[in-house]
Amino acid sequence: MDDSVRDLGLRLQDLGRSVRLLRQRRAVERPAVPVGLVGILLQIDRLATGCHARELAARTRLDPSTVSRAVAALVSHGLVERRPDPTDKRASFLAVTPAGRAALSDTYGWYGEVLAKALATWTPGEVTAFTAALDRLTRDIEVALATHETAALANNDNLEAAR
């Protein structure tokens, strides 16, 4: 493995630790949205007309049972509501409540304050370049994982065929 790739892996581990600490601190200082549920709440909010739980699972790439538990927690905290789906009586749409929007706004504000402090010595160009590089890395990792998964599935199919 190339040293620069190894160093990047180490920096990503450091970043993961920093993000975990950031989430833990936010949960202590702004407990309106329970730890681990901000991302789910954000995804529901991004779909202004609401969404089905199965769509949310696909968008977040989480197991449907994980999404179901997260949605139940968000509903119990009054941050999300289930609305009847007019086209399918068995299904419901998930929508962010006014309390959920207020909690998200507060959460964005808190993260914004922390990031502003962390980036205080960065130039706008540095922030823009880092944002673009992080976006590219995220997309490229997703592509690499999809390619890896396809290769693994093909390998499994070859092993099954050989049996």
pLDDT (0 to 100) of residue 84: 87
| Distance, CA of 92 to CA of 27 (rounded, Å) | 29
3-class SS letters over the chain: CCHHHHHHHHHHHHHHHHHHHHHHHHHHHCCCCCCCCHHHHHHHHHCCCCECHHHHHHHHCCCHHHHHHHHHHHHHCCCEEEEEECCEEEEEEEEECHHHHHHHHHHHHHHHHHHHHHCCCCCHHHHHHHHHHHHHHHHHHHHHHHHHHHHHHHHHHHHHHHC
Q: What is the pTM of this model?
A: 0.74
Average pLDDT over residues 95-123: 94
Give the β-pairing of 80-85 and 88-96. antiparallel
Structure tokens at 13: 């581990």
Phi, psi angles (nearest 5°) of residue 94: -100, 135
Token reading at 130: 């880092």
Q: How much is the pLDDT for 156?
A: 60
Other beta carbons within 10 angstroms of residue 20's beta carbon come to: 11
pLDDT value for 86: 80
- Report residue 147's pLDDT band, with 50, 70 and 90 as the boundaries: confident
pLDDT in tens, 17-57: 999 999 999 989 988 888 889 989 999 998 767 788 888 88
Position 112 scores a pLDDT of 94
